[in-house]
Amino acid sequence: MVRLKEELEMRGLKFTRQRKIIAQKIFSMKKHFTADELYNSLKKKYRISRATIYRTLDVLSSLGLVEVHNFGQGKRYYESISGKKSHCHFICTSCMKIIEFPSDEIEKIITNMASQHNFKINRYSINVYGLCEECARKRKK
Amino acid sequence: MVRLKEELEMRGLKFTRQRKIIAQKIFSMKKHFTADELYNSLKKKYRISRATIYRTLDVLSSLGLVEVHNFGQGKRYYESISGKKSHCHFICTSCMKIIEFPSDEIEKIITNMASQHNFKINRYSINVYGLCEECARKRKK
DNA sequence: ATTTGTGCAAAACGTTTGCAAGGCG
DNA sequence: CGCCTTGCAAACGTTTTGCACAAAT
């Protein structure tokens, strides 16, 4: 939170009521969420528009405080990255549960491939789609 | 093409003029393409609606003949998978050029992680975002 | 003849934008 | 005070849908 304030000020951006509220909510969430979920979880208590949610998510991701994922279905998923490392996502396409795995080994391989081609990595996203144990079991029946 | 006909028949689906045309076009494309690009490349010569393009892409991907990628920006990218293996994508966010890399090693790691958690993999998508050599050079100036 | 597929236009969906009003520094 | 930010509603671009007609088996 202090970090957010500093990062904003550093760029001549403002530490507004809305940004505070949104950031607080995001940092308290462990899971992946969509802009709409965030909006719905806030609108009861606060008067914040969808536009502000989207704009704030943009700011936070450009500050490196939030990660954006394209898990398909035309909808974006966000995730706060308070310190934790990048990881793989195993996405159950039946119940949309998302299981995370560390990706250190894979990251090494990717970094290697990138440097071979002078590709400057900004971020990466490893998404495995399929069925989680439960849903796979249900299907068999 | 013969494969497509068989796969369709096997499922009681029809081998229509439109599906033929679309499949032919797709199999002749090497690169990733969007539904709209496909539509535009066909509409001059044939009378095929956008709806049919989308519906056919769904069919082809459920038959495993086409891979779908969510490279962000709210737009889907498709790729025909005539035999070739899955691979990583390095996506230049400046010029949208997509470089492909084999991912055998990574696939091994992923398969391993999946089996540890009884996750049944359907497909995976490894996307690295950043700047290609050219665009990175331009930025520096 | 039956059933699946098509074209069209309208709707849906998530996201972005223009603008006037509001709030932070 | 000046500039950044907000809320609203309208616009956007892509994808999906309902329906009547057409085509494949």
Average pLDDT score, chain B:
92
- Does residue A79 carry a pLDDT above 90? yes
Give chain A positions within 8 Å (CB) of B99: 117, 119
pLDDT tens for each residue of A13-42: 999 999 999 999 999 988 899 999 999 999
Mutation target to probe the A interface, by most A beta carbons within 10 A, among B54, B71, B96, B120 is: B120
Of A74, A93, A122, the CB nearest to B130: A122
Which positions on chain C have an atom < 7 Å from some protein CB?
3-9, 13-18, 23-25
pTM beyond 0.75, yes or no = yes
Percent pLDDT > 70 in chain B is 97
Chain segment B111-139, per-residue pLDDT in tens:
999 999 999 998 899 999 999 999 999 87
What is the rounded distance in angstroms from the CA atom of residue B91 to the CA atom of residue B46? 32
Q: What angle do CA B33, B103, B68 make, to 5 degrees?
A: 25
Phi, psi for residue A112 in degrees, rounded to 5: -60, -50
pLDDT at B141: 64
pLDDT band at B83 (very low <50, low <70, confident <90, very high): low
Q: What's the pLDDT tens digit per position in A89-134?
A: 999 988 888 999 988 999 999 999 999 999 999 889 999 999 999 9
